[in-house]
Amino acid sequence: MKRFALVLALPLFASCSDQYYYGEEFSLYYDRPATETTSERVERREIVHWAKNPKDKKRIGFLHQYETKVVGSRKYRDSWYIFDALGKTRIGFITDEGVFYRFDANGRLGERLGEFKVTPTGLKVFFGIPLDQNLDLEEIDPYK
């Protein structure tokens, strides 16, 4: 009887140890951790402002959205750069959490303005526009 119990217990222990299982078996389905930090621009919009009449729209800057993957991470993080009206100089930075920074004269991260919803409240605070006036992000027309 003891031998019979031993014979019945043997397949139980054999089934618990899977010698053909690999811990990273499903890693082919997931993105691997980044080996270097990469950043790619995914969107570019024009920031326009007007007080009452939408026909009086004036471009005050550009907003570039970037996706960044940091070394060792599998997830992308969004960030935004704010450019001047000519689109040449970076004047601000927005993190994924909505924290606004203004660059100093040397192009380094300077003043922290606060944490806001990116559009439209944060951009209005960044540019010093009253909250009752209008601000919008428009697609850039290459033929304009």
The rounded average pLDDT for each run of 10 residues, N- to C-terminus, in the chain (144 residues) is 58 56 59 84 94 91 93 89 93 92 88 86 91 91 76
pLDDT score, position 74: 84
pLDDT score, position 105: 85
Residue 125 lies in a domain: yes
Of the candidates 143, 29, 123, 128, the residue with the CA atom closest to the CA atom of residue 83: 123
| Number of domain units in the chain | 1
Can you point out the beta strands (E) in 27-76? 38-50, 58-69
- H-helix or E-strand containing 82? strand 77-83
Residue 6 lies in a domain: no
Q: What is the DSSP letter of 142?
A: T
Q: What is the DSSP letter of 118?
A: I
Residue 64 lies in a domain: yes
pLDDT score, position 117: 84
Residue 63 lies in a domain: yes
pLDDT score, position 21: 53
pLDDT score, position 101: 93
Residue 13 lies in a domain: no
Residue 10 lies in a domain: no
Q: Which two tokens stand for residue 81?
A: 């750069």
**Hey, which residues does 40 pair with through a beta bridge?**
67
CA distances from 100 to 63, 64, 111 (A): 13, 14, 9
Dihedral sign from CA coordinates of 122, 84, 38, 137:
positive
Q: Nearest 10 degrees: CA dihedral of 40, 123, 82, 46?
A: 80
Residue 53 lies in a domain: yes
Residue 33 lies in a domain: no
pTM confidence score: 0.73
**Domain residue limits at 91:** 38-139
